[in-house]
Amino acid sequence: MGVCGSLFLPWKCLVVVSLRLLFLVPTGVPVRSGDATFPKAMDNVTVRQGESATLRCTIDNRVTRVAWLNRSTILYAGNDKWCLDPRVVLLSNTQTQYSIEIQNVDVYDEGPYTCSVQTDNHPKTSRVHLIVQVSPKIVEISSDISINEGNNISLTCIATGRPEPTVTWRHISPKAVGFVSEDEYLEIQGITREQSGYYECSASNDVAAPVVRRVKVTVNYPPYISEAKGTGVPVGQKGTLQCEASAVPSAEFQWYKDDKRLVEGKKGVKVENRPFLSKLIFFNVSEHDYGNYTCVASNKLGHTNASITLFELSEPTSSSLLQGPGAVSEVSNGTSSRRAGCLWLLPLLVLHLLLKF
Ligand SMILES: *[C@@H]1O[C@H](CO)[C@@H](O)[C@H](O)[C@H]1NC(C)=O
Ligand SMILES: *[C@@H]1O[C@H](CO)[C@@H](O)[C@H](O)[C@H]1NC(C)=O
Ligand SMILES: *[C@@H]1O[C@H](CO)[C@@H](O)[C@H](O)[C@H]1NC(C)=O
Ligand SMILES: *[C@@H]1O[C@H](CO)[C@@H](O)[C@H](O)[C@H]1NC(C)=O
Ligand SMILES: *[C@@H]1O[C@H](CO)[C@@H](O)[C@H](O)[C@H]1NC(C)=O
Ligand SMILES: *[C@@H]1O[C@H](CO)[C@@H](O)[C@H](O)[C@H]1NC(C)=O
Ligand SMILES: *[C@@H]1O[C@H](CO)[C@@H](O)[C@H](O)[C@H]1NC(C)=O
């Protein structure tokens, strides 16, 4: 609080009374304001918290006494400082202008300030409102949340600022859905997996750029196998069975053949797991590898399975020809030998170029 506001209350009151006597203002009589003549204070002053505010009062040479007041407290009377607040300084006291500055303005400085003058034994006042703006600030926001599908959630975003900021919630990723709430609170009942992702709270009040904070909403759901296709492979070739499952948290995969769990490290077979995909790889398919496999995807919310068949292809297909190891090496041998076939021309070409220059 300002020093003059609280510390010197009895003194301050005395001062007000004596000033009134000085200016011959009978107490209780309303003072005129908004006069077309002097004194003329400026329009309302709007400043941001922390900035300086200049209170200017235009006068003329008929004016004999001048003062600036904060409500009923005298800040300055002529060149004399009546208040102890170091933030209040006299800017000018001339024949035409009487101005003070309030530095490092804070919200409690907001309110009416009065320029009081005496002209030809007539006291006059002019009032100006100091309006203090504060940038928006998010002071409280929900933390990231992990919830099971179907439950209700409630997100909160509390912001401060002057004027009071507008608070909105938007769903921004994975798909930008846009505004979901024009309010500090965001309630979602029976949340779905599509409603997971990042939510952004924005607080704006035109004083400064809006402030934004993000909250991550994780929606857990049991595995769902999206792809499990059978594969045909000839004997002696590499074969891969793929099982794709979406789940939150990520699914764990297990492979079964005819109700028998395939343990990792079995000779010639490898399981490759990624968060949404499991591959069962046979390096050298033999007759007894053919058959029905079951991919089981599970997480803490449940499990599901899909049947995938590895079946025999008697003839290598054109696609397996292209992808098979034999085919690849043939192609690469071919190109490299063709390249090697041209290499002998290189010295001739260099010689030709050297001769040209
Ligand atoms: C104006 O008055 C208010 C209320 O007493 C006080 O809190 C504030 O510090 C004062 N400001 C100045 C600049 O005197
Ligand atoms: C100045 O501010 C006061 C208080 O906010 C308001 O009542 C008044 O209308 C404003 N005057 C002007 C000229 O904006
Ligand atoms: C979600 O909110 C609705 C409506 O308020 C309520 O009926 C339901 O029981 C809530 N569900 C859960 C899981 O809390
Ligand atoms: C694949 O297995 C068969 C039978 O066990 C064997 O004859 C062949 O050499 C193996 N091929 C490779 C590339 O390991
Ligand atoms: C494999 O599964 C398919 C479809 O689920 C079924 O028609 C077929 O009989 C099964 N084959 C074996 C060898 O179990
Ligand atoms: C696959 O799911 C069916 C139906 O839910 C169940 O009967 C079967 O036991 C499951 N198989 C495996 C290997 O978990
Ligand atoms: C391809 O290269 C491999 C080794 O690099 C060799 O064994 C094979 O005979 C070559 N094949 C052809 C068609 O040149």
Q: Which residue has the higher pLDDT, 34 or 313?
A: 313
The lowest-confidence range among 36-45, 47-56, 102-111, 298-307 is 36-45
Q: Which residue has the higher pLDDT, 78 or 37?
A: 78
Residues near ligand 1 with C-beta < 6 Å? 1-2, 4-5, 70-71, 75, 83, 85, 88, 102, 108-109
Answer yes or no: is the C-beta of 336 below 6 A from any ligand 7 atom: no
Pocket test for ligand 5, best of 229, 259, 309 (most atoms within 8 A of CB): 309
Across the strands, what pairs with 81? 76
In this predicted structure, what is the pLDDT of residue 158? Answer: 98
Answer yes or no: is the C-beta of 129 below 6 A from any ligand 2 atom: yes
Ramachandran quadrant class, 138 (left: phi over 0; alpha: psi -120 to 50; beta: rest): beta
Angle, vertex CA 268, rays to CA 266 and CA 274, nearest 5: 75
Distance between Cα 334 and ligand 7 center (Å): 9
For 122, residues 6+ apart whose C-beta sits below 8 A from its C-beta are none
- pLDDT of 292 over the 50 cut: yes
Place of tokens 């004083």: 207
Q: What is the mean pLDDT of residues 212-241?
A: 95
Q: Which ligand approaches the C-alpha of residue 325 most closely?
A: 4
Atom in ligand 3 nearest the alpha carbon of residue 152: 1
- pLDDT of 331 over the 60 cut: no
Pocket test for ligand 7, best of 328, 330, 333 (most atoms within 8 A of CB): 333
Give SS3 for 133. strand
For 242, residues 6+ apart whose C-beta sits below 8 A from its C-beta are 227, 228, 229, 231, 277, 278, 279, 280, 308
- Kindly report the protein residue whose alpha carbon is nearest to atom 13 of ligand 7: 330
Distance between Cα 17 and ligand 4 center (Å): 111
Answer yes or no: is the C-beta of 236 below 6 A from any ligand 4 atom: yes
In this predicted structure, what is the pLDDT of residue 353? Answer: 65
Query: Residue 309: is it exposed, middle or buried by C-beta count within 10 angstroms (0-12/13-18/19+)?
Result: middle
Residues near ligand 3 with C-beta < 6 Å? 151-152, 189
Answer yes or no: is the C-beta of 292 below 6 A from any ligand 5 atom: yes
Distance between Cα 267 and ligand 4 center (Å): 12
What are 322's two structure tokens? 């292209």
How far is residue 40's CA from residue 34's CA, in Å, rounded to a whole number? 8
* Pick from 250, 143, 145: nearest CA to 191: 145
Atom in ligand 2 nearest the alpha carbon of residue 43: 13
347: confidence class by pLDDT, cuts 50, 70, 90? low
258: confidence class by pLDDT, cuts 50, 70, 90? confident
- pLDDT of 18 over the 80 cut: no
pTM: 0.69
How far is residue 125's CA from residue 121's CA, in Å, rounded to a whole number? 13
Backbone φ and ψ of 51, nearest 5°:
-85, 180
CB-CB contact of 17 with 25 (8 Å): no
